[in-house]
Chains A and B, each alone.
Chain A
Amino acid sequence: MALLELQDLSLHYHTGRGVISAVNQLSLALDAGESLGLVGESGSGKSSIAHAILRLLPAYAQIRQGRIYFAGRNLLDLTEPQMREVRWRQIAMVFQAAMNTLNPMYTVGAQVVETILTHEPNMSSKAARARVEELYALVGLPCTLLRRYPHEYSGGMKQRACIALALACNPQLIIADEPTTALDVIMQARILGELESIRKERGMSVIYISHDMAMMAQVAERIGVMYAGVLVEYGCTIDLLAAPAHPYTAGLLAAVPSMADDVTQLQEIPGEPVDLYAPPAGCRFYPRCSRATAQCKEQAPPLLPCRRNRDGEHKAACWHLL
């Protein structure tokens, strides 16, 4: 059975100007020990899904429909105290731009210990501190940093500390939301490498959320491509990268300039992003698709398995697959 399963999830934001349809009928599944990457532009709804899973959505968000199953339970049915037990203990998150995710008033070490003790109250503070030191060693941070405040950490250190924090309670699933966006390439490679090795070691599942296809290629076993709140393509990384079925995926891949060729001009996907306040009835990619037809305008294509599926799980939502 899948560790995490999203079924028909639809998410709306009620703003002053109207209602935004942020996520539209999304279905996903993730097994234990698997790594999944969610790719898309900003505003495609990927972070919303992460927040939805942990039920950290703001008050003006509303889950119109759908279920989120984790280890057999529908998270949407849980009470707040129950959810608090799930958070971090079962599902942890590494936040986007860890610049500001730590309380500047207390030492980092104190905050990690606090988190551990919250979920394992019977543990002695000494044992908790011992575990924190282990975690720091794991992510490659010197233990002297435990007594320092967040503003005394560099960007990379903070990110690693956040990873250590995420691992603190041995969760089954970690969601890494843009974990390396603010870092340089070398740091990025190192951190991703560490994260992957820990994942494989502990048998954790990880969901990577990013707009960086290249990063996904490195770490994700399966990739989901999102556009305007809709999952447009989903499959194992190798298949997807080798032969993308959806025009948007192809566009994304093509946009990454090749190191080998002579590149004089960047390839871009033409058109404007869709207005989420009044989403069209048809395919949301319609205005920018070179293969679009009248049918695309009227009907939204369903997410269906496409012809190329090596292990039977390559889906795309398009009337005119590549």
Chain B
Amino acid sequence: MLRYLGHRLLQILVLLFVFITLTYFILQAMPGDFTSIYASNPQMTPEMIANLQARFGLNESVWVQYVRFLRNIVTGDLGVSFSEYPRPVWDIIKERLPRTFVLFFSANIISFYIGFWLGKWSAWYKGRAADKVLVTGSISLITAFYPLVAFMALWVFSYHLGWLPLNNFVDPILWSNAPLSSMQVFGYIIYAAVVTTALLILVSLLLRKKGVAGAKSRWIPPIVLGLALLSAVALFQRSGLLIYVFDILYHLLLPLFVLTFIRIGSSLLLTRDAVLAVTQEDYVLAARARGLAPAVIRNRYLARNAIHPVVTSLALSLGESFSGGVVTETLFSWPGIGLTLLRASLGGDYPLAVGAFIITGIFLLLGHVAADIATACLDPRLRDSIGR
């Protein structure tokens, strides 16, 4: 296992290097640079623009800039951005990434969970009314024009009904006197989520080690989850942060809802296809012959065997959670890494653009590795390939 991981990490590093180089040169190849926006400003004389370029190192050849950039990367210095000079790139990413992550990661997990669950039922009731409704609904969601759906949701729920906030991730009036910044609260939320997830994985592993999952032990993971959440709430309450955490979560609801809603369709159809493929297998017929209960067949024989493509898809999309989505971030005023990336790339802010690409690239590649490991863990037949 360790050898396998080491091998994969080496692959990641090589890929990352190629990726960075390509990105860097493509960005540099785009016409103009960061100082182009000043061209239409008569107050900026060409001498002034040249001075500015010198400050940002843009007057040197591309290769010189590249080598300098690489040297910094190796020492872990992502440089300072042009657009918020001289704020370090890592600082900016550190501020924006958690916002993106919290939103997109949650949306992915929830949509996959619901999509998987619904897809399982859809395959079970194939051909019946429920199945047709779910499939049609899924296809409509996938093909729907996302910005329109998002804006309509905004219009209906925020503007007309007023149930959910219209913008952003905090309520200014509440946060005017908050004792800590939203960045910190996002950090706490992620921290709580990571601890809870680790706990759940630990519990699941322990359960499996102990043997067969009986009817009673099915309830243990949900109970653990509930306890973890309750203790998180209690801790937040004690430190007086609860209201701020809730505010952020409240603002999370609408974009989360829209994102999840849109993505359920794809995981539903994926699950449905996988389950239908498994239905042809001999062991399913054998299970029926053995008189096993329908629920058992559905979960342990169909769903469990169909999980491979779904988990792969999930792991890959989790990698995407780190790059966000520009439309979502813009419409819901949720400034995250996606928007940062786009603006930096178009605006010629090379350090910020490449820095953001690196970070998101790392997570994306790690996502691939996680996908491989996850499928291997779940399928006993593959475990040998990763040496466990």
Direct contact, A vs B (beta carbon within 8 Å) = yes
Chain A residues near B (Cβ < 8 Å):
54, 56, 83-89, 92-93, 95, 97, 99-106, 110, 113-115, 118-119, 125, 149, 151, 165
Chain B contacts of A97 at CB under 8 A? Answer: 282
| Interface assignment of B205: CB less than 8 Å from any CB of chain A | no
Alpha-carbon distance between A124 and B287 when the two chains are bound, in angstroms: 21
Alpha-carbon distance between A56 and B304 when the two chains are bound, in angstroms: 22
Chain A contacts of B288 at CB under 8 A? Answer: 56, 87
Determine how close the nearest CB of chain A comes to the CB of B123; give it in whole angstroms: 14
Alpha-carbon distance between A245 and B288 when the two chains are bound, in angstroms: 39
Alpha-carbon distance between A118 and B293 when the two chains are bound, in angstroms: 8
Chain B contacts of A113 at CB under 8 A? Answer: 212
Determine how close the nearest CB of chain A comes to the CB of B293; give it in whole angstroms: 7
Verify B291–A103 contact, CB threshold 8 A.
Answer: no
> Which residues, 262 to 289 on B, are CB-close (under 8 Å) to A?
281-283, 285-289
Verify A84–B282 contact, CB threshold 8 A.
Answer: no
| Interface assignment of B211: CB less than 8 Å from any CB of chain A | yes
Alpha-carbon distance between A151 and B378 when the two chains are bound, in angstroms: 14
Determine how close the nearest CB of chain B comes to the CB of A152; give it in whole angstroms: 8
Interface residues on B, range: 20 to 34
From B292, which residue of chain A is reached at the shortest CB distance? A118
Verify A103–B292 contact, CB threshold 8 A.
Answer: no
The answer to whether A105 and B287 touch (CB under 8 A), given A113-B212, A114-B296, A125-B212, is no
Alpha-carbon distance between A97 and B300 when the two chains are bound, in angstroms: 22
Determine how close the nearest CB of chain B comes to the CB of A75; give it in whole angstroms: 13
Chain B contacts of A102 at CB under 8 A? Answer: 283, 286
Verify A103–B296 contact, CB threshold 8 A.
Answer: no
Determine how close the nearest CB of chain B comes to the CB of A90; give it in whole angstroms: 10
From A59, which residue of chain B is reached at the shortest CB distance? B127
Determine how close the nearest CB of chain B comes to the CB of A224; give it in whole angstroms: 22
Chain A contacts of B300 at CB under 8 A? Answer: 103, 105-106
| Interface assignment of B91: CB less than 8 Å from any CB of chain A | no
Alpha-carbon distance between A293 and B304 when the two chains are bound, in angstroms: 57
| Interface assignment of B380: CB less than 8 Å from any CB of chain A | yes
Determine how close the nearest CB of chain B comes to the CB of A14; give it in whole angstroms: 14
| Interface assignment of B381: CB less than 8 Å from any CB of chain A | yes
Verify A95–B282 contact, CB threshold 8 A.
Answer: yes
Verify A104–B381 contact, CB threshold 8 A.
Answer: yes
From B301, which residue of chain A is reached at the shortest CB distance? A103
- Select one of B214, B283, B293 contacting A104, CB under 8 A: B283
From B291, which residue of chain A is reached at the shortest CB distance? A87
Alpha-carbon distance between A165 and B214 when the two chains are bound, in angstroms: 19
Alpha-carbon distance between A104 and B379 when the two chains are bound, in angstroms: 8
Determine how close the nearest CB of chain A comes to the CB of B143; give it in whole angstroms: 29
Alpha-carbon distance between A104 and B306 when the two chains are bound, in angstroms: 12
Chain A contacts of B285 at CB under 8 A? Answer: 56, 95, 101
Alpha-carbon distance between A102 and B286 when the two chains are bound, in angstroms: 8
Chain A contacts of B304 at CB under 8 A? Answer: 103, 105
- Select one of A85, A110, A115 contacting B211, CB under 8 A: A110
Verify A85–B381 contact, CB threshold 8 A.
Answer: no
A-B contact pairs, 25 of them (CB 8 A): A54-B289, A56-B285, A88-B289, A89-B291, A92-B289, A93-B286, A95-B289, A100-B283, A101-B282, A101-B286, A103-B283, A103-B287, A104-B283, A105-B305, A105-B378, A110-B212, A113-B212, A115-B290, A118-B291, A118-B292, A118-B296, A125-B212, A125-B214, A149-B380, A151-B380
Alpha-carbon distance between A137 and B291 when the two chains are bound, in angstroms: 24
Verify B212–A151 contact, CB threshold 8 A.
Answer: no
Alpha-carbon distance between A95 and B286 when the two chains are bound, in angstroms: 8
Q: A87-B288, A103-B287, A113-B212 are in contact. List 18 more A-B contacts (CB 8 A).
A: A56-B285, A88-B289, A88-B291, A95-B282, A101-B286, A102-B283, A103-B300, A103-B305, A104-B379, A105-B304, A105-B380, A110-B211, A114-B292, A118-B291, A118-B292, A119-B291, A125-B214, A149-B381
